[in-house]
Structure 1
Amino acid sequence: MVFDNLPLIDLHRHLDGNIRPDTIWDLAQQNGIALPVEHFNDFIPHVRIEDKASDLMEFLAKLDWGVKVLANLEDVQRVAFENVEDLSLAGIDYAELRFSPYYMAMSHNLPTADVVAAVIAGVKQGCSEFNVQANLIGILSRTFGLEKCQHELDSLLVHKDNLVAIDLAGDELGQPAELFEQQFKQVDKAGLNVTVHAGEAAGPESVWQAIKLLKATRIGHGVRSYQDPALLEYLATNNITLETCLTSNYQTGTIANIADHPIHTFLANGVKVCLNTDDPAVEGIELRHEYHIAKTTLGLTDKQLQDIQLNALHAAFISDAEKQALLKLKSANI
C-alpha cells in the first residue's frame, strides 16, 4: 500500500541498473554490437533475473549488457533520460539516481568525466519534460579497485555541484570500505553526503566501517545489521537510515525468502528504513511492488508503511524546504 497523500520516493535506484531491455537491444543494433541471441524475447534472461541469482556477483553480471552497448555519449544521455521517464511512469515523485561513471564508460573507453556530464544532461532533460524531481549520486565502484575508484571520484568531483552524494558499491567482500578512507575524506571536503552499500554481501563489520570510516549517514541494504544488537542501537540513536530493497535482497541471495527479511527486527529496534527498487529493469519490478510485498508477504501494518514512506522523505539528500514542498505538492493533488 502506498499512501497517495505522501510523496513516493526511491532513494536507492541504480541508473545503470535500470537500462530498458528494448533500449539495450536497440543500441546493440545501432552500434553493431553482437548479442548472444537472435531474437529479443530470448535476450530477456540475459538482462533480467528469473527468480533469483546464486549470489550478488551473478546478479551484478546481469547489468553488464546495459553498459556494453553505450558506445557514445548520446547513448549515455538517452538512458539517463529514459530513467527519468521510468520514474514518471512509476508514479515516483522524487528519486535519487545513482550511477558508476567508470562502469558506464569502460566498454567503449568513453571519457569518464564526460559520461558524468551526459548523465546530468539526460536527467535534467527528463526532469523538465516529465515534471519529476530527481538528484544524482555518484558511485565509486570498488569492484575495479582503488586506482579506478580514485579516477572515478576525480571525474565526479568535476561535476560535484550536480550531485548530492557519493556512494561506494560493488565487491563488498573483496574490497572492504577501510581501503577507501582517503577517497571519502575528499568527499567530505567537497561537502557531499555519503551513502554506502554495506551489510549485503558482508556482515555488520562492513556497516560499522561505512559509518565510522567513511561517515555514511545512510546505508545501502544493511541487511546483516540485525546480527549486531549494538549496531542496531547505534543506527537508531544516530538516525542512520537503511535503504531497504526487498526483491533485490531475495534475488541476490542475501536472504533466502522475502518473508525472512529482517525488516521487522529493524523496525522493532527503532531503526529507520525506507523501501527502494535497487535495479528495477534487472529485477522486473517497480517501487509500488515493494510496498505491496511489504504488506502482503511481510505483513507490515498501514502505520508502518506510512512511516516508511515518511522515512524516505526525511532521509532524502535535499533541504527541509524541498521536503516540505514535496509534502505540499502531494496534499494539493489529493
Structure 2
Amino acid sequence: MYNNQLPLIDLHRHLDGNIRPQTIWQLAQKNNITLPEINFEKFLPHVTITHNEADLLAFLKKLDWGVKVLSTLDDCKRIAFENVEDVYQAGIRYAELRFSPYYMAMTHQLPVADVVAAVIDGVAQGVKQFPVKINLIGILSRTFGVEICQQELDALLTHKNHLVAIDLAGDEYNFPGHLFVEHFTQVKNADLHITVHAGEAAGPESVWQAINDLGATRIGHGVNSYKDESLMAYMHKHSIGVESCLTSNLQTGTVKHLNEHPITTFIENQLLVCLNTDDPAVEGIELKHEFELAHQSFNFDLQTISQLQQNAIDMSFLSNAEKRTLTSEFTTKDL
C-alpha cells in the first residue's frame, strides 16, 4: 500500500547492489569468467538472499559476484543503464543511485575515475530512454581502508559535477568513521551533500560521529539510533534524515525479527524517516514491497505511509525547485 498521489522515491539504493543475476551470468560468459555453478538456477543463491544472513559482512558477500564480472567500462555502463530501467519498471519516479567505483573497478583493475565516468554515461543514456529522474551518490568503501578511500574520493571528485553526495559504506564495525574525517572535510569543500551508513553494525555513537565529525545530514539505516533518546531528539531538531531499509535490516541480521525494527520509534519521535530498497536485486524485493511490508508488519495506515513518502521528498538531495517540480508533475500526470 502506498499513496499514488505522491511519487515513489528511493533514496538508498545501491547501483552495484542491483546487478541483475541474468546480467551477471551473461557478462561472465562474455568475459570468460568462471562462476561457482554451471547452471543458472543453482547460481542464483550465490547472488541473492535465500535466508537471513548472520551479519552485515555475510550479506555483503552476495554482492561480490556482480562486480567480479565487470571486466570492461562498457560492462559498468551496461549495469548503470539497467539500473535506470529497473527504477522505471518498479514505478519509482526519482532515485538516488549510489555506487562504489573502487569496488566495481578492483577485480579487473579498471581505472577508478573511468568507472565513475562509465556509470555517469550509462545513467545518462537510461534517463533519455526512461522517464525517471536519477541522481548519483559516490560511495567510499571503508572496508578497503583509508588510502583506498582517498583514491576513490579523488576519482569521484574528478566528476563531482555529476554527483549530489558522497556516502561512507561497508564494514562500519572494523573501520569506524573517525578514520575518514579528512575525507569528508574534502567532501564539504567540494560542496557535496553527505550521507553515511551508521548505526547498522555499530551503536548510536557511530551515528553521533557521522553527524558531528563527518557532517552527515542523512543516515543510512541508523537502526541503533533508537538506543539514545538524546540522539533522536537531536536528529529531529536538526532534520537529520534516516534512510530506512526494512528487508535489508532483517536479511543482514541487524534486526532478528521485523517486530524489533525501530521505525515505529523513529516515527513516534518525529524523525525524518523514509523507506528504501538498499540492494534490490540481491534481496529479491522492490520499493512497493517495502511499503506493503510496513503496512502489514506495523499496521501503518495511509496517513503514515503518505508521511513516509513525503519525508523522502523532503530528505532528497534535490533543490527546493526540483522537489516542487517532481511533486507537481506527478500529481498533474496522475489526475
Q: Which amino acid aligns with 2:196?
A: V
Q: Which amino acid aligns with 1:27?
A: L
Partner of 1:153: 153
CA RMSD of aligned residues (A): 0.5
Distance in 1, matches of 2:156 and 2:162, equals 9
Structure 2 residue 15 is matched with structure 1 residue 15: yes
Partner of 2:114: 114
Trace 1:55-70 onto structure 2 (pairs within 5 A): 55-70=55-70
| Aligned-pair CA distance for 1:313 | 0.3
Look up the SS of the partner of 1:215 in the other structure.
coil
| Aligned-pair CA distance for 1:111 | 0.0
Q: Which amino acid aligns with 1:323?
A: K
Partner of 2:123: 123
Q: Which runs of 4+ in 1 moved over 2 A?
A: none
Q: Which amino acid aligns with 2:53?
A: A
Trace 1:267-278 onto structure 2 (pairs within 5 A): 267-278=267-278
Partner of 1:305: 305
Partner of 1:77: 77
Partner of 1:140: 140
Partner of 1:209: 209
Deviations 1:87-129 (A, max 9, x none): 0100000000000000000000000000000000000110111
Q: Which amino acid aligns with 1:50?
A: T
Gaps of 5+ in 1: none
Distance in 2, matches of 1:229 and 1:48, equals 36
Distance in 2, matches of 1:163 and 1:236, equals 26
Q: Contact (CA 8 Å) 1:177, 1:209: kept in 2 or not?
A: yes
Partner of 2:218: 218
Partner of 2:180: 180
Distance in 1, matches of 2:270 and 2:287, equals 23
Distance in 1, matches of 2:38 and 2:72, equals 24
Distance in 1, matches of 2:331 and 2:38, equals 49
Q: Which amino acid aligns with 1:190?
A: A
Deviations 1:150-209 (A, max 9, x none): 000000000000000000000100000011000000000000000000000000000000
Q: Which amino acid aligns with 1:10?
A: D
Percentage of identical aligned residues: 61
Structure 2 residue 273 is matched with structure 1 residue 279: no
Q: Contact (CA 8 Å) 1:4, 1:330: kept in 2 or not?
A: no
In the superposition, the TM-score normalised over structure 1's length comes to: 0.99
Deviations 1:51-82 (A, max 9, x none): 21111000000000000000000000000000
| Aligned-pair CA distance for 1:270 | 1.0
| Aligned-pair CA distance for 1:2 | 1.4
Look up the SS of the partner of 1:297 in the other structure.
helix
Which range moves more in the overlay, 294-303 or 54-63?
294-303
Aligned length: 334
Distance in 2, matches of 1:83 and 1:298, equals 30
Look up the SS of the partner of 1:254 in the other structure.
coil
